[in-house]
């Protein structure tokens, strides 16, 4: 719904969203490259197990 006489621009909004995602991805990749150069990519199934283990440990002292 336009309130200022302008028409919505969904294509433009999508482009801005894509640009933000690319900027975020570039930042995250730069952090990995700079701080964790020896850390390899983790297969997703292994990552899920590692997350579960980490969360279980953090919440483990019940």
Partner 1 sequence: MADAMALYAEVGAWNLAALADRRAFDSHYEAVAGAIADRLTAKVHIDIQARGRAFDEWIVGLASMDAQEITDRHFVGVCASLIASLASHPIVTYSVMVRPWPDRLIEAVAKYPDQVTALMSGAAVYLLRVRDMTGVDPSVPLSPLIVENAAGHLWRGLAAAARFRELLQLSSPWS
Residue 35, CA distances (Å) to 2, 31, 40, 57, 59 in order: 45, 6, 12, 25, 27
Interface with partner 1 (CB under 8 A), residue from 5, 8, 12, 62: 62
1-60: contacts with partner 1 (CB under 8 A): 17, 19-21, 23-32, 34-36, 38-48, 50-52, 54-60
The C-alpha atoms of residue 12 and residue 26 are separated, in whole angstroms, by: 21
| Min separation Cβ 46 and partner 1, Å | 8
Indicate the SS3 state at residue 53.
Answer: helix
Provide the binding-site residues for partner 1, judged by CB under 8 A. 17, 19-21, 23-32, 34-36, 38-48, 50-52, 54-62
């Amino acid at each position: 719904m336009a309130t200022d006489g302008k028409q919505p621009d969904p294509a433009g909004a999508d482009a801005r969203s894509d640009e933000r995602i690319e900027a975020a991805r570039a930042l995250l990749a730069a952090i990995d490259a700079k701080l964790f150069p020896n850390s390899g990519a983790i297969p997703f199934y292994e990552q899920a197990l590692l997350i579960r283990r980490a969360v279980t440990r953090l919440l483990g002292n019940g």
